[in-house]
Amino acid sequence: MRSKACFSGVLLLALVAPGRAQAPHVVSIEPAAPFKARRGGEVEVPLRLMIRGGYHINSSKPAEDYLIPTLLTWAEAPLPARGITYPKAESVKYDFSAKPLLVYSGTVAVVSRFQVPPGTAPGEVHLAGKLRYQACNDKACLPPRTLDVSVSVNVE
């Protein structure tokens, strides 16, 4: 059912400009290679998150209730997201935590799967998403931030 044929795209990822008095983002998103998929099928869109050295962000399912999970969401249109697969978290013990935390660091990939309805018109479509994360190092934390993610895809 899943197909990447006959569907080419270009990913354009835009970062929201930092707001007033906000710390700079410690996560950036690397544009992925173009994708191909068939109308009526599905397309996978991996996003590579690059986390600044020395920092971690909480996984999508943190070890503690009080921690803010990493969460990628997409607008329903024009292509509905059918699932998001987060990377396997690392279990790391920090001085400030009684038990190991489940975190992401370095470069990790979050893979989104979109349905391509049969009636999708050929041409460029734009997928809009938001990545919310909260970063810390071993001594301090930065406030939660949200990155706008914009994906442009050319449907052939």
* Contact call for residue 128 and other proteins (CB under 8 A): no
Binding string to other proteins for residues 3 to 42, with x set by CB under 8 A, is what?
-----------------xxxxx-x----------------
Report the run of H or E that residue 73 belongs to, with start and end.
strand 71-74
Burial degree of 148 (CB within 10 A; 0-12, 13-18, 19+)? middle
* Contact call for residue 1 and other proteins (CB under 8 A): no
Beta carbon nearer to other proteins, 25 or 79: 25
Binding to other proteins (CB under 8 A) within 37-76 occurs at 52, 54-55, 64, 66-68
Using CB under 8 A, pick the residue from 30, 61, 96, 122 that binds other proteins.
96
Exposure b/e, 80-104, CB count within 10 A at least 16 = b: ebeebebbebeeeeeeeeeeebbbb
Using CB under 8 A, pick the residue from 10, 81, 84, 142 that binds other proteins.
142
* Contact call for residue 97 and other proteins (CB under 8 A): yes
Beta bridge partners of 150: 128
Tokens of 104: 């992401």
Cα(140)–Cα(117) distance, integer angstroms: 45
Q: What is the contact surface with other proteins in residues (CB under 8 A)?
A: 20-24, 26, 52, 54-55, 64, 66-68, 94-97, 101, 134, 136-137, 139-144
